[in-house]
Amino acid sequence: MRFRWTLGAALALLAASAIADEDVWTIGPRKLPPPANASPELKAIIGAERTPKAMQGDPPSSMLIWKGLIALQDAKGAERAKEIARKYGVTVREDRIAGVAVFRVDPPVVAPEHKDHIFVHVHGGAWLFNGGRAATVEAALIAAKAGIPVISIDYRRAPDFPYPAAMDDVVAVWTELLTSHKPSQMALGGTSAGGNLALAAMLKLKALGLPLPAALMLGTPAVDMNKTGDSRFLNDGVDHGLAWDGDAAEAVKIYANGHDYADPYLSPIRGDVSGFPPTYLVTGTRDLLLSDTALMHAKLRRAGVPAELNVYEGFAHADYLNYEGTPESDQHFAELKIFLADHLAQ
């Protein structure tokens, strides 16, 4: 009996192994129409696009080419940031806090509920891009649409300053701001790599025993440096702004600089988020990082953290910034404004 049971178990294991070899689905060519339930404005934009080929193919072959690409992206982002500031009457001033370069971004009119408040902003850009004035695109939109002063951190970036330089800069600025502002008066957040860095900084602040902000905003954050999460596969080739294989994966490698991706300060989904403040999360159905956002929302909820997950039909990665002015983008900023007013001390 013992022999027959062992043989049966072995056969079962072999069968399981055979199934495991075939557990990857192969899905044939698909047609994806514009989302029927998106706003007419967003449907028109998506319908006019060609099939996306975002950030695919071979990444730059040398660090010199990487730096040229970074400079080009920074310049384009700076022009857009200036256009946004002009459109909304936002003022932008360069400054330094704790030795870190920052931009003070002020709305034309500060909302009465935010007269003593600050939103501490961490820009996105795959840990390499969107430095200098380009860092202020989202900051200007938050300032204008929520009526809140923003400090946008122009943190040190890879490749010259890999992990943990950016996280350290966010922590340094936050620590210095605590000398002039109550934590209950400040929110922290950002999009994409900015969301990743905001989470990493939160984990670090918690480890240091420093006060945390009253509210956290996470825009489609990258929460795992490995290629995990359903949407990184399902929305590959659908998201017009981001694809993990190619430039993005290489940017992660450059930023991590040989550190283990399991480090919670690199992959915050692996960290202890208990005690985090109320958190606002936003993503879209075509976002490569939809799963990252949903998984972080679930982790926060399991830890007892009040968290709001906002998912917009048809939006790809950070499209509330890319398609600023669409009804979906306007709703996101309106929801964020309410969230900040609800959670920052009056």
Question: Tens of pLDDT along 132-143?
Answer: 999 999 999 999
User: Which H helix or E strand runs over 30?
Assistant: none
pLDDT at residue 8 in the model: 45
Report the percent of the chain where pLDDT is more than 70: 92
Residue 246 — pLDDT band, cuts 50, 70, 90? Answer: confident
Looking at residues 160-179, what average pLDDT do you find?
Answer: 98
DSSP H helices in the chain: 2-21, 40-48, 63-88, 137-146, 165-177, 193-208, 231-234, 249-256, 290-302, 319-322, 327-343
Q: Sort strands 279-284 and 118-122 into parallel, antiparallel or unpaired.
A: unpaired
Question: Domains in the chain, start-ordered, CATH in brackets?
Answer: 38-343 (3.40.50.1820)
The answer on pLDDT for 14 being more than 50 is no
pLDDT at residue 21 in the model: 56
Q: How far apart are the first and last CA of the chain?
A: 74
Looking at residues 159-184, what average pLDDT do you find?
Answer: 98
Residue 1 — pLDDT band, cuts 50, 70, 90? Answer: very low
Residue 56 — pLDDT band, cuts 50, 70, 90? Answer: low
Instruction: Report helix angle 63-88 to 137-146, nearest 10.
Output: 20
Predicted TM-score (pTM) of the model is: 0.92
d(CA 77, CA 88): 17
Q: What amino acid occupies position 285?
A: T
Mean pLDDT of the chain: 92
Which range among 31-35, 126-130, 213-217 shows the weakest confidence by mean pLDDT?
31-35
Per the structure block, which two tokens stand in for 317? 């990665």
Question: 118 vs 16, which has greater pLDDT?
Answer: 118
The answer on pLDDT for 11 being more than 50 is no
Looking at residues 226-255, what average pLDDT do you find?
Answer: 93
The answer on pLDDT for 87 being more than 70 is yes
What number of other Cβ atoms are within 10 A of residue 259's Cβ?
Answer: 14
Let me know how long the chain is.
Answer: 346
What number of other Cβ atoms are within 10 A of residue 309's Cβ?
Answer: 17
pLDDT at residue 7 in the model: 41
Taking only the tens place, the pLDDT of each residue in 280-299 is 999 999 999 999 999 999 99
Show Cβ contacts of residue 7 under 8 Å, excluding neighbours closer than 6 positions: none
The answer on pLDDT for 267 being more than 90 is yes
pLDDT at residue 187 in the model: 98
The answer on pLDDT for 174 being more than 80 is yes
Contact criterion met (CB below 8 Å) for 203 and 266: no
Q: Sort strands 100-106 and 150-153 into parallel, antiparallel or unpaired.
A: antiparallel
Q: What amino acid occupies position 320?
A: Y
pLDDT at residue 52 in the model: 75
The answer on pLDDT for 23 being more than 60 is yes
Instruction: Report helix angle 193-208 to 165-177, nearest 10.
Output: 60
Contact criterion met (CB below 8 Å) for 327 and 39: yes
Contact criterion met (CB below 8 Å) for 221 and 203: no
